[in-house]
Homo-oligomer: A and B are copies of this chain.
Amino acid sequence: MNIPFKGIIAYPITPFTEQDKVDIPLFKTLVERLVAAGAHGIAPLGSTGVLPYLTDEEKEAVTEATIQQVAGRAPILAGVSNLTTERTIYHARFAEKAGADAVMIIPISYWKLTDEEIFRHYEAVANAVSIPIMAYNNPATGGVDMSPALLKRLLQIPNVTMIKESTGDVQRMHYLRRELGEEVAFYNGSNPLALAAFSAGANGWCTAATNLIPELNLELYSAISENNYELAREVFYKQLRLLQFIVNKGLPRAIQAGLKLAGVEAGYPRLPLKPLTAEETGQLQALLQECLQ
């Protein structure tokens, strides 16, 4: 099975110009920071990258810019989720042709989808591309909560080889591992669950925190890889408050604010999303300093 990811998979934000255009040059410098920091994978057009707020053309430009900039130094997981099956297939094909190593798909909901509709949606995309697919469960953003049983069923589709779980409930991961055995490739997308997910056997951690605290993210994975949970616990608790903060405030808002605090240009958000308030930015600054002690 083709499972190109493990460890720390980093999610860049999508920055905008003051005129509300995607700022591709700035995006490339943000991707370069993640690669240079040692991220084990790069995932453009995730929730952090505000995928659903972009036009088709903008999505294509972001995918191409990532592949150019990374230039083979890390595997690339491109987000291609869309409300309609037709558009999801379109973007998955584009990503494959552009050179992505895998695509990530969350079944975005307006009308609640039946399990059968979700299964056929993944199947239709899987039939249209050859690269592996990561099925992504995140009811808090996508509005659909795929049951562990449905995720298990999705893994029967040949190139659906990876699951990303972001419900924040470690028992979902327990189920997958217990039902599917040690070989199942599951990833944690809930930042405050990083330690629990690794102890449950997760292959990797999908996180936007690497934009702000790459060393702490990588140290955690390193301790886990060495089966040293005392060290892992220490490193985890050091970064926990920051992880909770960026989740609570919304990743695109919080990462952008954190980059600016670190002196890194990060552009503008797209309305209706707004920057953190001054008070929130102050809280973030305190948490970042706490992480560095």
- Please list the residues of chain A having a beta carbon within 8 angstroms of any beta carbon in chain B: 20, 47, 50-53, 83-86, 107-108, 110-114, 116-118, 120-121, 124, 140-143, 168-171, 174, 177-178, 192-193, 195-196, 199-201, 227-230, 232-233, 237, 240-241, 250-253, 270-274
Contact = CB atoms under 8 A, between A and B. Distances in A.
In the complex this chain forms, how many copies of it are found? 4
B272 A121 contact: yes
B200 A110 contact: no
15 contacts: A20-B86, A86-B271, A110-B142, A111-B273, A113-B272, A120-B274, A124-B271, A143-B143, A174-B192, A174-B237, A178-B241, A196-B200, A199-B229, A199-B232, A227-B229
A217 B216 CA distance: 32
Nearest to A240: B178
Contact of A200 (B124, B195, B272): B195
A233 B192 CA distance: 20
A249 to B, nearest CB: 9
Contact of A120 (B110, B230, B251, B272): B272
Most buried by B among A108, A111, A240: A111
Contacts of A273: 111, 113, 117
Contacts of A252: 111
A59 B240 CA distance: 42
Contact of A274 (B108, B116, B178): B116
A139 to B, nearest CB: 9
Nearest to A241: B178
Interface centre among A142, A199, A240, A272 (most CB of B within 10 A): A272
Nearest to A112: B250
A170 B196 CA distance: 8
B120 A174 contact: no
A126 B237 CA distance: 31
Nearest to A181: B237
B240 A174 contact: yes
A239 to B, nearest CB: 10
Given A195-B199, A196-B170, A178 B237 contact: yes
**Nearest 6 A-B pairs (CB), nearest first?**
A199-B199, A85-B271, A196-B196, A121-B272, A52-B110, A229-B229
Nearest to A233: B201
